[in-house]
C-alpha cells in the first residue's frame, strides 16, 4: 500500500533528539529520509549512553528508524558540491544545528532557496528571534524557559523537570506539522518556504493551560478548580503537584503495595458527574446530603480531605483492581504504569505503538513506533541505518557519481 508521504525526499541534517524525532515521523509516513552524518563519527548519539560496546546506542536507534544514512562533510569543496546536488534532489531539508552553524557551512536559507526554490527548509532552534537567539539549548533548558519547570513539582518545592521530552521530541513534532502544512501550500504555489520552530515556543504551547491560570488566578478567589490545594496565589502560577490542569479535581492515590512498589499508585479524577457514585463506593454517602460536601464549590477548600478519604479506599486494592472498579462507574482514573509494564503491555504491541526491531549490531530491541495511525498509510518500523550504510547508493543514484568519484571522495575524507 502506498504511504502518505511516498515520493517526498527529506534531506535530514538533524542530530541528537529534537530534529531526529521530526524526521523519524516523516519517515514513518513514507518519506525517503536521507540522514547526513559527519564522516567517522556520525550523529553524536550513536555513541552516547551506550549499553553494548561499539553498537549504536538505543538513544540513536530509537530516534532514527526508517532512514538512510550518508556520511558527508559539507565543509569541503566536494562536500559542498554533493550537498548542493542533494538540495536540488530533495523536497524538504531539516536541521537543528546550533544557531549560525548552517550559515557557516555556506548554506543559509537564501542559498538553499536559490538552489531549489521548491525546497521547504525546516529549522529547529532553542529560541526564536530575540536576546537568546544565539544560545545552544537542550531539553531541560527548554523546559525551564518555556514555563514547564516553574509550574511542575511539589507546591513548596523547587521547580522540576518532566520525564516527557517536551522540549526535544515535543518541538520535533511541532516541526512536522509546519513541514506538512508547507508541503500542502507548495501544491498551490509551487514555492518552498522556511519553517522554524523554537523549543521555548513549543514548550510554552504545551504549557498553554498554565498561562491561562496565570491570568485567571489573578482574578481569584475563584469558584472553580484548579485553585491548587490550599495554596494562595502569590503572583505567579504555583507548582501544581499532582493537581490536574483541567477543571476537574484529581489527585494521585496510593494503592495496595505502595510501601515496596514505587509505582503502586493510581490517579483518580473526582469529577462532579461521577462524584455520587464515587462517594457511595468509598462509604461516604453522607457527603451527598451534606452542604459542606455536596457541590463542587463546597468541596473546593477541602479537596485534600476528599482525596485522603478516597485514598483510604484505594489503598485496600491494587491499582488494577481500583481501575477495574472505577471504570464501570465512569470515574476517570489511570494507574501509574512503569516502563517495565508498558514494555510488556500486549495492547501496545498489537497496535505497533511498542515494537521489537532486529539490528545487526545489537540484536533485538524495543522501540516506540508511530503513535499516529493512518488507515491508508500503515507503518512498518525498520531499524536505524548503520553509519554511512547508504552513502554509495545515494551518491550513485541521486548525485550521479561513479565508482572513481566515490573512491576519491572517500580518500579525501569528504564522505
Ligand X SMILES: CC(C)(COP(=O)(O)OP(=O)(O)OC[C@H]1O[C@@H](n2cnc3c(N)ncnc32)[C@H](O)[C@@H]1OP(=O)(O)O)[C@@H](O)C(=O)NCCC(=O)NCCS
To ligand X, the closest distance from the beta carbon of 124 in angstroms equals 5
> Using CB under 6 A, which of 128, 134, 136, 189 touches ligand X?
136
Cβ partners under 8 Å of residue 202, min gap 6: 142, 146, 166, 167, 170, 171, 174
> Using CB under 6 A, which of 78, 91, 168, 311 touches ligand X?
168
In whole angstroms, what is the distance from residue 86 CA to residue 80 CA? 10
Among residues 358, 379, 375, which one has the least CA distance to residue 27?
A: 379
Q: Which is nearer to ligand X, 100 or 157 (CB)?
A: 100
**Which residues within the stretch 276-315 sit at the binding site for ligand X (CB under 6 A)?**
none
164 binds ligand X (CB under 6 A): no
Report yes or no: 237 and 213 within 8 Å, Cβ to Cβ.
yes
To ligand X, the closest distance from the beta carbon of 405 in angstroms equals 19
96 binds ligand X (CB under 6 A): yes
Q: Which is nearer to ligand X, 97 or 293 (CB)?
A: 97
Name the residue whose CB lies closest to ligand X: 98
In whole angstroms, what is the distance from residue 318 CA to residue 358 CA? 35
> Using CB under 6 A, which of 104, 191, 212, 373 touches ligand X?
104
To ligand X, the closest distance from the beta carbon of 386 in angstroms equals 16
> Using CB under 6 A, which of 137, 182, 203, 415 touches ligand X?
137
In whole angstroms, what is the distance from residue 270 CA to residue 202 CA? 30
Q: Which is nearer to ligand X, 34 or 255 (CB)?
A: 34
> Using CB under 6 A, which of 138, 155, 315, 337 touches ligand X?
138
Report yes or no: 61 and 367 within 8 Å, Cβ to Cβ.
yes
Among residues 318, 309, 313, 323, which one has the least CA distance to residue 260?
A: 318
Instruction: Dump the DSSP string for 237-272.
Output: PPP-TT--SSSS-EEEEE-TTTTT-TT-EEEEE--H
Peptide bond into 221 cis (omega under 30): yes
Give the rounded distance of the alpha carbon of 11 from its chain centre. Answer: 21
- Backbone φ, ψ for residue 355 (5° rounding): -130, 150
To ligand X, the closest distance from the beta carbon of 116 in angstroms equals 19
Cell of 240: 501544581
Assign 18 to helix, strand or coil: helix
Binding segment (CB under 6 A) for ligand X, from list 54-62, 131-139, 345-353, 377-385:
131-139
Q: Which is nearer to ligand X, 196 or 351 (CB)?
A: 196
Binding segment (CB under 6 A) for ligand X, from list 13-21, 294-302, 341-349, 392-400:
13-21
Report yes or no: 228 and 152 within 8 Å, Cβ to Cβ.
no
Rounded to 10°, the helix 77-89/403-411 angle is 130
124 binds ligand X (CB under 6 A): yes
Active-site positions?
168
Q: Which is nearer to ligand X, 84 or 314 (CB)?
A: 84
Cell of 63: 530516534
> Using CB under 6 A, which of 46, 67, 68, 125 touches ligand X?
125
Q: Which H, E and C letters describe 86-149, residue by residue?
A: HHHHCCEEEECCCCCHHHHCCCCHHHHHHHCCCCEEEEEECCCCCCCCCCCCCHHHHHHHCCCH
Task: State the binding string over 62-81 for ligand X (x if CB under 6 A, else -).
Answer: ----------xxxx------
To ligand X, the closest distance from the beta carbon of 272 in angstroms equals 42
Binding segment (CB under 6 A) for ligand X, from list 118-126, 232-240, 281-289, 369-377:
118-126
**Which residues within the stretch 25-64 sit at the binding site for ligand X (CB under 6 A)?**
36-38
409 binds ligand X (CB under 6 A): no
> Using CB under 6 A, which of 8, 16, 120, 326 touches ligand X?
16
Report yes or no: 254 and 264 within 8 Å, Cβ to Cβ.
yes
To ligand X, the closest distance from the beta carbon of 160 in angstroms equals 20
Q: Which is nearer to ligand X, 74 or 147 (CB)?
A: 74
98 binds ligand X (CB under 6 A): yes
Residues that bind ligand X (CB under 6 A): 16-19, 36-38, 72-75, 96-98, 101, 104-105, 124-126, 136-138, 168
Amino acid at each position: 500500500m502506498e504511504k502518505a508521504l511516498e515520493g517526498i525526499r527529506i534531506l535530514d541534517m538533524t542530530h541528537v533528539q529534537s530534529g531526529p524525532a521530526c524526521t523519524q515521523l516523516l519517515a514513518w509516513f513514507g518519506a525517503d529520509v536521507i540522514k547526513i552524518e559527519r564522516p567517522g563519527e556520525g550523529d553524536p548519539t550513536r555513541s552516547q549512553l551506550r549499553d553494548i560496546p561499539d553498537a549504536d546506542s538505543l538513544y540513536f536507534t530509537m530516534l532514527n528508524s526508517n532512514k538512510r544514512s550518508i556520511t558527508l562533510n559539507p565543509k569541503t569543496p566536494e562536500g559542498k558540491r554533493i550537498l548542493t546536488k542533494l538540495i536540488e534532489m530533495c523536497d524538504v531539508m531539516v536541521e537543528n544545528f546550533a544557531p549560525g552553524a548552517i550559515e557557516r557551512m555556506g548554506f543559509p536559507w537564501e542559498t538553499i532557496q536559490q538552489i531549489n526554490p521548491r525546497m521547504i527548509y525546516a529549522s529547529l532552534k532553542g529560541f526564536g528571534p530575540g536576546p537568546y537567539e544565539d544560545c545552544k539549548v537542550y531539553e531541560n533548558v527548554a523546559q525551564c524557559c518555556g514555563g514547564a519547570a516553574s509550574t511542575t513539582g511539589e507546591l513548596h518545592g523547587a521547580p522540576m523537570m518532566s520525564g516527557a521530552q517536551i522540549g526535544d521530541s515535543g518541538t520535533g513534532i511541532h516541526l512536522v506539522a509546519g513541514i506538512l502544512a508547507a508541503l500542502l501550500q507548495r501544491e498551490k504555489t509551487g514555492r518552498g518556504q522556511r519553517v522554524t520552530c523554537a523549543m521555548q515556543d513549543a514548550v510554552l504551547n504545551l504549557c498553554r493551560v498554565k498561562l491561562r491560570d496565570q491570568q485567571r488566578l489573578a482574578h481569584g478567589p475563584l469558584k472553580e478548580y484548579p485553585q491548587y490545594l490550599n495554596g494562595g496565589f502569590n503572583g505567579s502560577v504555583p507548582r501544581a503537584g499532582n493537581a490536574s490542569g483541567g477543571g476537574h479535581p484529581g489527585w494521585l492515590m496510593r494503592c495496595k503495595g505502595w510501601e515496596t512498589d514505587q509505582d503502586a499508585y493510581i490517579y483518580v479524577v473526582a469529577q462532579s458527574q461521577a462524584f455520587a457514585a464515587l462517594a457511595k463506593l468509598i462509604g461516604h454517602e453522607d457527603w451527598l446530603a451534606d452542604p459542606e460536601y455536596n457541590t463542587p464549590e463546597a468541596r473546593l477548600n477541602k479537596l485534600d480531605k476528599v482525596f485522603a478519604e478516597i485514598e483510604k479506599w484505594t489503598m485496600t486494592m491494587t491499582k488494577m483492581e481500583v481501575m477495574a472498579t472505577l471504570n464501570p462507574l465512569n470515574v476517570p482514573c489511570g494507574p501509574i504504569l512503569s516502563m517495565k509494564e508498558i514494555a510488556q503491555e500486549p495492547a501496545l504491541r498489537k497496535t505497533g505503538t511498542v515494537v521489537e526491531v532486529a539490528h545487526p549490531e545489537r540484536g533485538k530491541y524495543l522501540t516506540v513506533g508511530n503513535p499516529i495511525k493512518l488507515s491508508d498509510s500503515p507503518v512498518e518500523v525498520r531499524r536505524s541505518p548503520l553509519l554511512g550504510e547508504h552513502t554509495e547508493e545515494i551518491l550513485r543514484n541521486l548525485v550521479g557519481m561513479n565508482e572513481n568519484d566515490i573512491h576519491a571522495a572517500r580518500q579525501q575524507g569528504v564522505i
